[in-house]
């Protein structure tokens, strides 16, 4: 099968087309013919070796972390799926590789895809959808009437997160540039802060939660807008000791995380708030819940551009450039 691979870590390590063996499947696996995949910041972070402290891969490595496609074969113990089913999913972290014609996925990481979406649209959902859902439901316990700031609302995660938070009844503030203003407004954002001209810490106060997708200064300033007892969930900040313990990384790595996150820990303590680093987990069951919201029209995918598989390197550079509004999709099969 055709796949886009890297041979080593590095910012300039090229994505190249290669022939790879067809995946084999186990008792609980599903073989999927991939029709589309989407790119996410985790892809260029993996490529550049920025997450090898947490995730280690062997080379050659097929990149890609979510997809949509059609089931072609199922393992002997699989009963929820059959050949011909249209599905979408986020494979578990040791089985990534969606920039390819086929992938073998554990049945628990898979769901039937929303019937009202194209393959391109469905492929844009799994990683960002699960990330936002787990942040709001599993960690923040977001409730109707609460106030949340979502950083970078026009980005891939942000466009989904705004819609989900609104669907859950929250008051949503977000950051965006002039170019992203109309998009985030159309998604339901109640308060839009132009990050090029305004400072969130000067304009917002008394918030219950912050969903941080940027890290750095944006994360640090987030603690200033929270009320006492508020929460920050970050997918781009530094993992802390609590994360190390949760992931069972061992005492050495956990101690290192405590060291590198000490500034964030101090900011949370000073503001009497809490901080969590989110490492999203695959879940077919949660994708099924999102499927219902999408089919009802309450949440819609936002796709910025669609690239061909052979242009995945160009697509990844476009995503890393930071100008994408919504998701960047790779169309694997052009027959759609």
Taking only the tens place, the pLDDT of each residue in 2-16 is 999 999 999 999 999
- At 310 the pLDDT is 97
pLDDT of residue 331: 98
Tally of CB atoms within 10 A around 267 = 18
Q: pTM of the full predicted structure? A: 0.96
- Positive or negative, the Cα torsion across 183, 188, 194, 195? negative
Domain with CATH 3.90.180.10 in the chain: 2-125+301-331
What are 234's strand-pairing partners?
Answer: 212, 277
Give pLDDT < 70 ranges for the chain: 335-336
| pLDDT score, position 335 | 61
Are the CB atoms for 298 and 167 separated by under 8 Å? yes
DSSP 8-state code for residue 84: T
> What pLDDT, on the 0 to 100 scale, is given for residue 22?
97
Do the beta carbons of residue 107 and residue 29 sit within 8 Å?
Answer: yes
The segment(s) of the chain belonging to CATH 3.40.50.720 are 128-277
According to CATH, the topology of domain 128-277 is Rossmann fold (3.40.50)
- Domain 2-125+301-331 annotated CATH 3.30.1330.80: no
Give percent helix, percent strand, percent coil of the chain, each to the nearest 5.
Answer: 35, 25, 40
pLDDT in tens, 291-332: 999 999 999 999 999 999 999 999 999 999 999 999 999 999
């Amino acid at each position: 099968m055709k796949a886009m691979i890297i041979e080593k870590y590095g910012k300039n390590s090229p994505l190249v087309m290669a022939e790879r063996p067809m995946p084999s499947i186990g008792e609980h696996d599903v073989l999927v013919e991939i029709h589309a995949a989407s790119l996410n910041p985790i892809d260029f972070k993996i490529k550049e070796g920025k997450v090898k402290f947490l995730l280690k891969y062997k080379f050659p490595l097929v990149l890609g972390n979510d997809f949509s496609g059609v089931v072609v074969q199922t393992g002997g113990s699989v009963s929820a799926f059959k050949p011909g089913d249209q599905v979408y999913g986020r494979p578990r972290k040791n089985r990534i590789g969606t920039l390819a014609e086929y992938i073998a996925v554990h049945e628990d990481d898979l769901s039937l895809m929303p019937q009202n979406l194209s393959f391109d649209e469905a492929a844009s959902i799994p990683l960002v959808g699960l990330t936002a859902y787990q942040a709001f439901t599993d960690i923040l316990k977001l409730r109707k009437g609460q106030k949340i700031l979502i950083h970078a609302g026009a980005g891939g995660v942000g466009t989904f997160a705004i819609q989900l938070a609104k669907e859950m009844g929250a008051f949503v503030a977000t950051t965006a540039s002039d170019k992203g203003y109309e998009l985030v407004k159309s998604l339901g954002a109640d308060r839009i802060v132009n990050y090029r001209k305004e400072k969130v810490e000067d304009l917002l106060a008394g918030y219950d939660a912050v969903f941080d997708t940027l890290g750095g200064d944006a994360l640090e300033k987030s603690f200033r807008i929270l009320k006492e007892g508020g929460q920050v969930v970050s997918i781009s900040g530094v993992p802390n000791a609590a994360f190390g313990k949760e992931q069972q990384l061992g005492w050495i790595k956990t101690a290192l995380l405590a060291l590198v996150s000490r500034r964030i820990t101090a900011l949370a303590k000073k503001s009497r708030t809490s901080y969590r680093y989110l490492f999203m987990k695959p879940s077919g069951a949660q994708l099924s819940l999102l499927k219902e919201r999408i089919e009802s029209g309450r949440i819609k995918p936002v796709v910025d551009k669609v690239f061909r598989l052979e242009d995945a390197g160009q697509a990844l550079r476009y995503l890393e450039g930071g100008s994408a509004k919504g998701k960047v999709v790779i169309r694997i099969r052009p027959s759609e």
